[in-house]
Structure 1
Amino acid sequence: MHVTEYHSGSTESVLFLHGGNVAGWMWHAQAEALPGFHALVPDLPGFGASSHIRWTSLEEVVDALAEVIAEQAHGGRAHVVGLSLGGVLGVLLTARHPDLVRSTFVSGAAIDGVQGFTRAAGLWQLKLWGLASYWRGLAGAFRLPADSVEQFVVTGLSIHRPSAQRMMTQVYDGIQDPQLAGLQSANFAVLALAGELEPRMVRSSLERITSLVPQSVARLAPRMHHVWSGEDPELFHRVLTHWLEHAEPSPELLPVNPEQSGQGFAPEETA
């Protein structure tokens, strides 16, 4: 698996896990802007510089990421940061290899899976992945900054589509409780996020994560959609930096409901 490193002289390591329509490049600006942390930014199997590596299963990819931490992270442990697909992998990595994790920061981690029309539409769109126009349209839907669009298009066209189909099907099927049993052993801080404007099916996974992890909290990124690392990279950077430096949610984040005390939430009370 291809891995880009930043600030190798810094003490603590951060593993950045990218989403399912991009590659590790989505994190490069964030990693560069964290000189106090050693960053490991892999291209997941089937994506970017790892497009020649075939995606097998969520578990095998997570185990390969655990090897990256064990071999390349300082002290053999890392803070885990993931968005969308990367968020799902971050949760599963935390469950399967808690001894390698310093903290976990995940956003848009739809561990409950995706069903119905959204699932059908997502799988159908795989047929369009060979069209540059599709990727340009998706860049607009994701509200990506103009200077990221060309790289997004090039990356999208290079994705190994059979790998993407296997990955997407596995994510859409959801993560079952036995796969997450190890979360009970997480004796470190976990932050589960969603954009305030994300679909309910994404936000519903927050309750499940916080119910499974003893030291966890859920929050919303104000006025943000799913790919808010690109929609407002400065906000994302402030929130991430606060988390890495203080192991607590940034005050810029919103509770999932006004009565939230910091440990979980009741989905029926959200909009």
Structure 2
Amino acid sequence: MHVASTHDGAGPSVLFLHGGNVAGWMWDDQVRALPDHHSLVPDLPGFGASAALDWTSIADVVDQLAVIVADRADGGRAHVVGLSMGAVVGTVLTARHPEVVRSALLTGALLNGITGLARRLNTVQLRVWDQHWYWAAQARLFRLPPESVDQFVSNGLSIRVENMRAVVAEVYGGLPASDLAALAGADVPVLGLAGERDLRPVREALRAYPNSANVTTRLVPRMHHAWNAEDPALFNEVLRDWLTRGAVNRHLIPA
């Protein structure tokens, strides 16, 4: 698995886990905003510089990530930051390997998966996965800044549809109850977020987080799904408060 390492030796490590339509480059603004933190930014199997690799399973991917963090992170532990698919992966990593996780900021995680008509409609996208117009439309839907659109489209076209079928089947199926239960017992601070204007299944997934002293859930006002690109200044402020003080940013609202 390709992993970019930035600001080596600068301070505590942060493991950034990207969403399912992109790759590690989606975190460039956040890495630049944290020169006092060591950043580990993988391209997960099937994506970006790891596009030639097969997606196996979330369980296998988190096992690989746990080894990477143990070997390369400051003190063998890292703060985990994930969005969308990356937030699902980050949830399982925290639940199964809490020994390598300092804290977790997870936004847009479909912990319950998707069922019924919504799932069927979302699966239709795989039929046009190799079409340029589809990726251009996705860029508009995610409200990506103009300077990111070409990279987003190019990256999307490089993702093999068979890998994405495997990802979709697993993510849309939802997480096992055992992983969510383990999250409560992980003794790791967790901040679960969703954009206030994100799709309903994403917002409702906040209810799936365990009712535990180590887990906090909030909505991000006015934001949609990919809000690290929609409002990087706000994302960076929320992120810095969490990483440096373990604090829930004042702009966040009750879920």
TM range (shorter): over 0.9
Partners of 1:179 and 1:207 lie apart in 2 by 15
Correspondence 1:44 to 2:38 = no
Q: Is the 8 A contact 2:119 2:172 kept in 1?
A: yes
Match of 1:145 in 2: 145
Partners of 2:58 and 2:163 lie apart in 1 by 11
Match of 2:230 in 1: 231
| Aligned residues with identical type, % of pairs | 50
Offset at 1:160? 1.7
Aligned residue type for 1:174: G
Correspondence 1:244 to 2:246 = no
* Secondary structure at 2:194 match in 1: strand
The alignment's C-alpha RMSD in Å is 1.1
Offset at 1:165? 0.6
Match of 1:253 in 2: 252
Q: Is the 8 A contact 1:195 1:220 kept in 2?
A: yes
Correspondence 1:30 to 2:64 = no
Offset at 1:122? 1.7
Q: Is the 8 A contact 1:6 1:32 kept in 2?
A: no
Offset at 1:117? 2.1
Correspondence 1:177 to 2:188 = no
Offset at 1:182? 2.3
Q: Any idea what the Cα deviations from partners look like across 1:169-213, whole Å, max 9, x if unmatched?
A: 1000000112333213322311000000122211222122142x4
- Larger deviation: 28-37 or 92-101? 28-37
* Secondary structure at 1:42 match in 2: strand
Aligned residue type for 2:233: E
Partners of 1:33 and 1:184 lie apart in 2 by 30
Correspondence 1:9 to 2:9 = yes
* Secondary structure at 2:209 match in 1: helix
Q: Any idea what the Cα deviations from partners look like across 1:79-118, whole Å, max 9, x if unmatched?
A: 0000000011111110000111000000011110011222
Q: Is the 8 A contact 1:119 1:172 kept in 2?
A: yes
Match of 2:213 in 1: 214
Aligned residue type for 2:21: N
Correspondence 1:203 to 2:203 = yes
Q: Is the 8 A contact 1:12 1:37 kept in 2?
A: yes
1:9-158 aligned within 5 A: 9-158=9-158
Q: Is the 8 A contact 2:95 2:183 kept in 1?
A: yes
Offset at 1:5? 1.0
Structure 2: segments with no counterpart, 5+ residues: none
Q: Is the 8 A contact 2:184 2:215 kept in 1?
A: no
Offset at 1:68? 1.1
* Secondary structure at 2:253 match in 1: coil
How many equivalent pairs are there? 255
Aligned residue type for 1:244: L
* Secondary structure at 1:252 match in 2: coil
Structure 1: segments with no counterpart, 5+ residues: 257-271
Partners of 1:217 and 1:227 lie apart in 2 by 20
Partners of 2:166 and 2:83 lie apart in 1 by 19
Aligned residue type for 2:168: M
Correspondence 1:164 to 2:192 = no
Partners of 1:234 and 1:222 lie apart in 2 by 14
**TM-score, with length taken from structure 1:** 0.91
Partners of 1:222 and 1:71 lie apart in 2 by 37
Q: Is the 8 A contact 1:48 1:158 kept in 2?
A: yes
**TM-score, with length taken from structure 2:** 0.97
- Larger deviation: 111-120 or 141-150? 111-120
